[in-house]
């Protein structure tokens, strides 16, 4: 009796659980989800925790469909596919796109640049049509191992120094097959290409780097290489390219047919223009040069007798200019033409060096100006009165004595005539200068007396004026490059 009662209770509980009396023990949710909202729905389900049951998507899969492995096996093994045969009877057109990921460096020393780039090639191969295979997926995403078994245009950069496919952590090759036989191949490549460096306007210059892409094995009768017209830009920047020294300002792409002994080849050209960021050079070369030249002009205010200080300023300024010039030239190639920075440095050193003859040499030669006469004064005739006075003086100083003079006076006159003649002649310097104003005014206008003080005053005006004119001409000409 007790056993029968227990069985009845167990049966009752089972029936109640089936009818929902005790509530569902396991709940399974099945619902349709918008593909665009797929990611957000998954994130929401995962963030809630284990309270929610797993999400099940209702995806249409054809019955008795052919999986990827079977499709590839049928295409490459069951249809007699030949990877050495060019697709189509009259050749194939290959559409190309470049996606510039990064430009890592530009070198003036080696005249080249390095960049990471995605190369996209799309062509139609009718032998790879699998629409009749009832595939489980419409697009087959495959790896480089399958690509090695397919026909490819064998395209490459014919002017590159180095070009290699990235292998991190595996070979970066993407392959997609479409049901109609369209093949899309994407490579991630590191390429080093040449640059046509023209440093004549350095550091206000622009440089151009070019790449040429073509099929290495097939001429344009078999393979026609074309830039893709399905996108607005066949050469596209994935982001803004900015290097420490350059900015990528322009990209040009065009198609050319190049004649070779074996026929005509289609070439795809890419030309990238870089503009130099010259702020660093302005701060490291031009600003110190300005300061050095300005400091060298301080010597004009030191006076004609401060020769050691003036010499020290000139020598130090010249050495500073040479050091700055060598520091910049060390990172540039040895070219046979004159650069803009060469013109600036050479003219600046000329300004510093040219101030020495006028500021240092002339004062040292004219510091004892009381003993030097202007040249024109040696040939000037004094007024008649002046001549009589000088004659009277000289008679008194150079004579041997008269009857009225005593023997002591005669000896003194003889002594003065022997030793004091030059002194009295130089003491009449003021009188001679005064007479020169009366005797030869025209000669004085033609031959001004350039004293050291006058040279310094003129240099304070001439040097800044000439340097300002040079700056206007220099920056007007070379700034046209930017």
DSSP string, 398-425: HS---SSS-HHHHHHHHHHHHHSHHHHH
Helices (H) and strands (E) in the chain, counts: 15, 12
Q: What is the pLDDT of residue 257?
A: 96
pLDDT score for 87 = 93
pLDDT at 448: 67
Task: Check if the beta carbon of residue 231 is closer than 8 Å to that of residue 253.
Answer: no
Q: To which H or E segment does residue 59 belong? A: none
How many Cβ atoms sit within 10 Å of the Cβ of residue 481? Answer: 17
Q: Which residues, 6+ apart, have CB-to-CB distance to 285 below 8 Å?
A: 203, 324, 328, 341, 344, 345
Residues 458, 300: Cα–Cα separation, whole Å: 9
Residue 299 has what pLDDT? 80
pLDDT value for 303:
73
Residues 6+ apart with CB under 8 A from 297: 355, 459, 460, 463, 464
Return the structure tokens found at 169. Answer: 């952590």
pLDDT of residue 244: 92
Whether 268 contacts 212, CB under 8 Å:
yes
pLDDT of residue 371: 42
Q: Could you check whether the bond before residue 162 is cis, i.e. omega within 30 degrees of 0? A: no
pLDDT at 10: 46
For the chain, residues with pLDDT lower than 70 are 1-62, 355-448, 481-482
The pLDDT of residue 391: 39
**Domains identified in the chain and CATH numbers:** 29-59 (no CATH), 68-277 (2.70.170.10), 291-367+461-481 (1.20.58.390), 375-448 (no CATH)
What pLDDT is stored for residue 318 in this prediction?
Answer: 79
φ/ψ of 447, rounded to 5, equals -125, 80
What is the C-alpha to C-alpha distance for residues 412 and 140, in angstroms, rounded to an integer? 129
């Amino acid at each position: 009796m007790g056993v029968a009662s227990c069985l009845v209770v167990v049966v009752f509980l089972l029936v109640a659980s089936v009818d929902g009396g005790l509530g569902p023990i396991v709940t399974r949710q099945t619902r349709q989800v918008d593909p665009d909202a797929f990611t957000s729905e998954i994130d929401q389900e995962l963030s809630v925790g284990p309270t929610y049951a797993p999400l099940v998507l209702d995806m249409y899969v054809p019955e008795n469909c052919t999986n990827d492995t079977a499709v590839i096996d049928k295409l490459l093994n069951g249809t007699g596919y030949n990877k050495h045969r060019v697709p189509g009877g009259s050749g194939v057109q290959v559409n190309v796109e470049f996606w510039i990921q990064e430009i890592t460096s530009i070198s003036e020393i080696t005249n080249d640049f390095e960049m990471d780039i995605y190369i996209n090639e799309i062509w139609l191969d009718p032998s790879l049509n699998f629409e009749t295979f009832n595939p489980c997926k419409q697009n087959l995403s495959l790896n480089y191992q399958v690509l090695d078994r397919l026909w490819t245009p064998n395209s490459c950069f014919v002017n590159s120094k180095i070009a290699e496919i990235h292998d991190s952590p595996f070979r970066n090759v993407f392959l997609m097959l479409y049901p109609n036989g369209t093949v899309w191949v994407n490579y991630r490549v590191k390429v080093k290409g040449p640059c046509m460096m023209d440093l004549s306007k350095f550091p206000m210059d622009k440089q151009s780097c070019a790449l040429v892409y073509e099929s290495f094995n097939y001429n344009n009768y078999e393979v026609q290489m074309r830039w893709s017209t399905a996108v607005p830009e066949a050469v596209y920047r994935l982001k803004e390219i900015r290097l420490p020294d350059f900015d990528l300002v322009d990209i040009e792409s065009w198609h050319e047919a190049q004649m070779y002994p074996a026929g005509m080849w289609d070439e795809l050209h890419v030309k990238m223009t870089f503009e130099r960021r010259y702020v660093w050079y302005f701060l490291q070369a031009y600003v110190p040069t300005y300061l050095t030249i300005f400091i060298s002009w301080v010597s004009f205010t030191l006076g004609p007798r401060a020769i050691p200080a003036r010499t020290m300023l000139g020598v130090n300024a010249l050495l500073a200019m040479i050091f700055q010039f060598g520091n910049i030239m060390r990172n540039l190639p040895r070219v046979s033409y004159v650069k803009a920075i060469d013109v600036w440095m050479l003219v600046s050193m000329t300004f510093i060096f040219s101030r020495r003859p006028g500021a240092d040499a002339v004062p040292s030669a004219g510091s004892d100006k009381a003993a030097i006469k202007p040249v024109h004064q040696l040939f000037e005739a004094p007024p008649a009165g002046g001549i009589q006075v000088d004659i009277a003086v000289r008679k008194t100083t150079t004579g041997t004595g008269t009857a009225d003079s005593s023997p002591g006076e005669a000896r003194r006159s003889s002594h003065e005539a022997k030793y004091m003649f030059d002194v009295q002649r130089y003491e009449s310097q003021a009188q001679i200068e005064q007479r020169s104003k009366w005797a030869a005014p025209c000669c004085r206008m033609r031959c001004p007396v350039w004293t050291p003080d006058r040279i310094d005053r003129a240099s304070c005006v001439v040097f800044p004026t000439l340097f300002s004119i040079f700056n206007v001409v220099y920056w007007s000409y070379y700034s046209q490059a930017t």
